[in-house]
Amino acid sequence: MLLDKYLPVYDFNEVHGITIRTSPEKAFAAIKELESAELSPLAYWLMSIRELPARLTGKPSPQIQGGRPFLEELFEDGFLDLDEVPNQEIVFGLVGQFWELTGGQNPQIASPQEFLTFDQPDYAKVAANLAVTDLGNGTVRCTTETRIRATHPATLKKFALYWRIISLGSGFIRILWLKAIQRKAERGQ
């Protein structure tokens, strides 16, 4: 799994999956082509809760525009496209101070190598994937795993509290994302 290359050791993780009646190629195309407008409005609502403190303090926050692939929008909003094996797995990452009420500072990480070597204290590294496994008989398993690694023991304590607060919502967003991928892939049959 490519995700192991970018964050083999982690402090927190979550894994979600869904079975889809389609080919690996169509499932992966759905992952890459899914537009943000195809996500559940509930996913938008949950994501907007996280951005509320930044908006209230006048700090600009990422905005989902719609009409373009959701992954492209994530990459424009700071996530880094780390790696890909076509029709199997895509990995993306982000470094930040997520526990800060207004989102904290996000260092400019410009390449997969910079992501791998980043180790400044008071940050957390997040690596996530979307993967497709062929189950045969015209079905695939589409999974997503998110891993988080704190860069310092003090950071781990800060992130742990934040994770307790947001992990259920974070997981639910990923489930809604997988369901949208399933709808798109199966509709394309």
Residue 47: is its pLDDT beyond 70? no
Segment 49-85, tens digit of pLDDT: 656 555 555 655 445 556 789 999 999 888 999 999 9
Residue 113: is its pLDDT beyond 80? yes
Segment 81-102, tens digit of pLDDT: 999 999 999 999 999 999 987 7
Q: Which fold has domain 3-187?
A: Alpha-D-Glucose-1,6-Bisphosphate; Chain A, domain 4 (3.30.530)
Q: What average pLDDT does the chain have?
A: 89
Read off the pLDDT of each residue in 35-58 and give the average, rounded to a whole number: 66
Domain ranges in the chain are 3-187
> 1-5: long-range contacts at Cβ-Cβ below 8 A with a sequence spacing of 24 or more?
1/89, 1/129, 1/131, 2/82, 2/83, 2/84, 2/85, 2/89, 2/91, 2/129, 3/89, 3/91, 3/127, 3/128, 3/129, 3/131, 3/145, 3/147, 5/83, 5/91
Provide the token pair at 186.
């199966």
